[in-house]
Structure 1
C-alpha cells in the first residue's frame, strides 16, 4: 500500500471510529421529547384509541411518530389517516401486537361507489395483509349479458344508464375475465377486500356496498429497535433530518445504541468508549508504522531486483531470453488456472502463448538473497540450445514476482515413468535405454559443447522432462554453475543438490575436487534407479551398508540370470546389464575413477563385451568391516555438511 493510499485509509478508519462512538454515546437533549411523546391516548366520536409508534396526533410534536402515520378526528367524528399514500383513509381498528390496522376508503362510505381507482401503496410504510384478496370492478360497460359468465355479478345498486351497466368479478385463482369484457368497459379497478367477505359474496348473502364499506387490512413494520427501546423504559420517535431517523427518547437516562441506560452507567460507558478509542488509535498507529517499514523494505528490495535484472540483461545481451510482464504471465496461464505441479521452488502452470504454443510456466516462490537461483537458471538455460536441453522461452521479474516460461513437455518428468506400474517389456526397456543415452548427450553438451561450460548439480529423475516422443530434456538449472575453465573445476562454498544423488566430493572435499564429474555421479545414481536398483533392496536388510542400494546390485551381477529381479528377460538382459554397469562406473567414490560423459556415451552405445564390472565404491564396507564415518571428513577444511 503506497503512502498516499495509506493516509486515506487511516483517515477513514479514524473518522468512522469517531462517528461510531458519537452514535454510541448520543444523549436525549433534556427529556422533553419523552414527556411529549408519552401520552398516546386519542379520542374520536366517544371512542378511545391507544396510538403507538409509528402513529401520532397533531396535538403532539411530529417527531413522536412517522410522518406517514398522522391520525386526526374529523367533523363527522371519524378517525382518519391523513394523506396516507396521498389519500385519506378511515381508521377502523388498530392491532399493535400484530402491527395490523383496518382501514376503509371514505369515498365508498354509506353509498354505492361510482368512482373506481387502484390503490398504490408505499412499500417502505405498509403492505397488504394475508387477510386481503383483490376484487376487480368493471364500470360503465356496453354489455348487459353477464349470465354467460358465472364469475361476474351485477352491481345492483348502480342502475343501467343508456345501455351501460357495472359489475364485479369474483376473486379466483383460475378464472380470468375474457378479453371482450375488458374491451367493453370504460373504467376498471382492483381494490382489496376482506377474505371472509369474499366468501359471502360468492354465496350472494351480502350486497356489494357492505363489502366495500367494510374495508381491508394493512400491515406496518416496526423493527426490533423500537421493542428494545420500549422494554428499556423509553418511547420510540422519529427525528427528521437525522442520519438515524428512528430514535429512542428516554426520561432521566441516556439513549445508548437505541436503549435507555441510567446516567451512572453511561459515565462508565463513556470511560470505556474513550479507552477503546485510545487503544484503537494506538493500534492503528502501530499498524501504520509496520506497514510503512514493510513498504520501504519491499520498495528497496524491488529496486535492487530491478537493478539485478537490468545488469543481467546488459551482461548477457542477445543470449538473454525474452522478458515478459507479470500481466502477460497471467494471460498466458489464464490466471494460473491449470496447475501441473508443486515443488520447493514454487508451482508450475500450463499456459498458451499468443502463437498457440503450449508452455509450462514455473512461478518461483521468494528467492533467497538476490535471487541467485533464478538468474542461474536463466543464464544456464539461455546459453543452451540442444535437443536434450529444455528450451527456455522467456522469464518475468517484477518485484517479488518471478516466473520462467519453458516449452511444454506433455509426458511430464522421468520419475513418473520410473514409478509406473507398467510391466518392463522389451519395448519399455528400449525406451529407458534411449532416455539414458539422451540424458548423457544433454550432459555432454553442457560439459563440453557450450562456450561456457555448465555443471548442473541437480541431475535426478524429477528434473528430466519427456516430450511427446519420450525424448528426454534436462531442466531446472537453479543450482547450476558456469565454468569458464576447460577442466571444469569449480570453487564452491556450501553443498548443493538432492540427497541420494549428491557426489561425495560435493559435501566433503577430501574425496576430490568439485567438477563436471559431480554430474556424472548423479547421472549414475539416476541410471541405476531407472534400472530398478532401488526397488530391489530386501525389506529385511539389517546391515547398514546394504542400505546403500548399489551394493545390492553387485550380488545380482555375480551369477547368471541374476538380473531377472530387475525385470530383465533373455532379450533385454544385455540392455539392462549395460545400463547397470555404466551406472556403477559413474558412481565411483573418487572423481578421477569415473568416466567422462563422452566415455559414458561410448560405453552405452558400444558392445557389452567391452564392459567390465567396476569395483565397489569405497563409501562404506561390508558388515565385517567398520563403515566409513563421512562426518569425520567435515573436520577438514573445505568441507560443508549442509544439504540444500
Structure 2
C-alpha cells in the first residue's frame, strides 16, 4: 500500500511543485484539475490583489468551473487561456450566448474582440439559402426566427426576403455557431514573457500597473518538465508491472485484493454522489420520461450508464430551507438494507434540488392495489403468497430502521405509494422526507406538528390524548397498509347499496369476529389462511393506543408464522379501555425524548 502511495505522490504532487515559483500566495491555481491554469495577469478571487492585474479576477462556482464576470454582471465560463497570444476562450453554460451579448460592454473591460462582426436577422418564414448563416433558436419569438449571418457573406438574400436586420454585433459569426467567445487583451503585455518561458508580474511584486518579465526561482522550462514526466511515467510502468507479476504469483494477495475491491464497492454503494443540475438533465435526457408526479415534485427515469437505470425525483418546493431534502439525504444516505431503497446521489445546485434513487421497474405497491381494485373479476397479478412476501419484507425494512441503525429512524409516512417493488417484487421502503432520528435507548419523540398521509397517520400524531409519538406510530401506518392490501381484494357486490361498508375496516373486523370468511378472491389453496393472518396482524397494528400495538419485531414474527395461533385483536373502532397486546415487551409507559435534528 505504501508503494502505491509513493507512486501517487510522484505522479500527481511532484509535478505540481514546479509551479511554486511565483510570489507567496500567487502560485498557479485552477478551479479543477482539467480547468484552465490561472496565473498573472489573472488571479482567483481568494488570492491577494497583487497576484493579478486589475480587471482580471476569476471565480470558481459550485461546479468548479472557472468564471469571468464582466462589469455588466455577465458571467461566462473560461474554457482556455492562451497567455502567449493573450487570448481567452469563453462559453455560456446556458447554451445561449446570444442573449448575453447585448449586455456585454467590452469598453468597460480589458478585453477586445477583433473578429469580423456578425449580423442578426429576424425572419417571418424559415430561411433557406447557400450563404453562411446560423439559426439562433433561443432568440426566436412568436412567428419569427432569428438568424446570425457573417458580415463577409452577401446579405442581399436576407434583405430582399421576409427578413429584417435587427442588430450588428461586434462578435464573429462563430460565436453564435459554437456558443463560444474569443477575446484578446492588450494590457498588460505579458505575451513575450510567456514565449520566453519566464514569469510576468508587477515590477516590485505589489506595485500596480507596472509589469515586467523576471526569471523564475525554480526552473519550469517545458523541456525538463516533459522529460521528468516521461521518466516518471516509465518508472511507474516498471513498478506497476513488477507489482502485477507479484500479484499473479501470490494467492493471498489476490484474495486480499478481491476483499478490498468488494469493500470499496460496498462503501461506494452507501455514499450518495453529488451531481450538478447539468448532470441531472443529461441523466434524464432532458427529463424525457416521467414516471410519476406528486406534491413533492416529479420523478423521471434516468440512466447512469448503458446498464444502470435510476429514478430522479426533482423537488418542486425547492426555494425554502429544504428541510425534507436535507433530512432525506441525511437519513437514507447512511443506511443500506435489502428492503430500503438505495439513494444513489443528489443534486443541490442553487435552488434546484433532486434525489437520485435506484430504479425499480415494478413501480409501487399502490399501483398493484389500484389495478386489482379496478378489475375485481380479473385474475390477480400478484398472488396472496407474494403479497405475504411483500408484507414481511416491508416489516423487515421497518425493523431495520427501528433497531438496525446506530440511531432509531422513524419513517412517519409508511403507505403503499412508498413501498417500491423490484423485478422480483421484493419490497423497498422509500421517501424519507418526513423521517426523524431518535436515540435507541428512548422510545418516544416530541413533535411540533403532525406529519404523514391522511388515512395512515397514527392517532397520537394528530392528538396527544391517544399517547406519545414513538416507533409505534410506524406500526399503525404499517397496519393500515396491510388492511389496504386485504381490503383492495374484497369482492364488490353490485346489489349492495353501501359499497363503502364492504371496504371499511370495521366490516373486516366484524366478519373475523363472527368467524365468517371474508369475501376475498381466493385463487390457490392456503390463500384463506394468508388473508386471515394479514387482516389480524393489521388489526393489532392499528390499535388506538400505542401501548396496545406490537413492536415491529413481533409483527415480523407473526407474519413469518402460519397464523393458526393468532388471536383476534380487541376492536380498534371502540373507544373503550382495551387489553394490551400480550406479547409486547414494552408494556411500560414510553419516555419522551427530543427528536435528533
Give the structure-2-normalised TM-score.
0.49
Give the structure-1-normalised TM-score.
0.46
**Higher Cα Rg, which structure:** 1
